[in-house]
Amino acid sequence: MSPRFPVLVLAAALASAVALPLVSSASAQSPRDRPSAQNPPQAGRGGAAFSLDTLFAALKIAPDEASAKAIEERIWAIWMSSDSDTCTLLMSRVKDATEDKDLDLAIKLLDAIVTIKPDYVEGWNRRATLRYLKHEYGPALADIREVLAREPRHFGALAGLGLILQDIGDDKHALEAYQAALAIDPHLRNVPDTVKTLREKVEGRDI
């Protein structure tokens, strides 16, 4: 059996598992609970951070890329916060190692992070990114699965899933992953154009 085959199976299973629930998750809110463009969520007094639920609701109705980017940055800030001094220190070393192009060291540091704090989503996500850069698609997909098990709305992980699926030639499931990401964050940079291109390829192939 080709080593590529298990990667294709894992990728397809992961894409199929996440696509439909993510597209429909926002519809579970009642209209009364959803913020509207006329009445967007406001920051609380004292500069209290938005909850992720509120931020994701706002992200979905952001009127433009600038507004969406500001909300994305708040979400990423929450994801990056580990509430652990040890993990914060190790993540700073991951950043240094990555900038020095020592991806092996960065991955070893991330191994320690996900062992120390397995619920820290960004530890898994960062390791998935580095494994993707090393073309280690199987391990990268396994890390993405860990990310989405903890935070199904992680648009970064979903976009990463789309990239991997594209690289291994699975355009149909790549399209589903990107569409799931856009259902959460409609203003994701470059993704709408990628979806348009892939849709033309997939639909043309079906015809």
Which of 27-31, 35-39, 61-65 ranks highest by mean pLDDT?
61-65
Q: What is the 3-state secondary structure (H, E, C) of 162-193?
A: HHHHHHCCCHHHHHHHHHHHHHHCCCCCCHHH
110-145: per-residue pLDDT in tens?
999 999 999 999 999 999 999 999 999 999 999 999
Average pLDDT (51-66) is 94
- Using CB atoms within 10 Å of the CB of residue 99, give its burial: 0 to 12 exposed, 13 to 18 middle, 19+ buried: exposed
Residue 7: phi and psi, rounded to 5, are -65, -45
So what's the pLDDT on residue 75?
95
* Least reliable range by pLDDT among 46-50, 54-58, 61-65, 122-126: 46-50
So what's the pLDDT on residue 2?
42
Query: Taking all residues of the chain, what is their mean pLDDT, rounded to a whole number?
Result: 83
pLDDT over threshold 60, residue 186: yes
For residue 182, the Cα-to-chain-centroid distance in whole angstroms is 11
CATH class of 4-12+52-206: mainly alpha
So what's the pLDDT on residue 14?
63
- pLDDT band (50, 70, 90) for residue 204: confident
- pLDDT band (50, 70, 90) for residue 62: very high
Domain limits, the chain? 4-12+52-206
pLDDT over threshold 70, residue 26: no
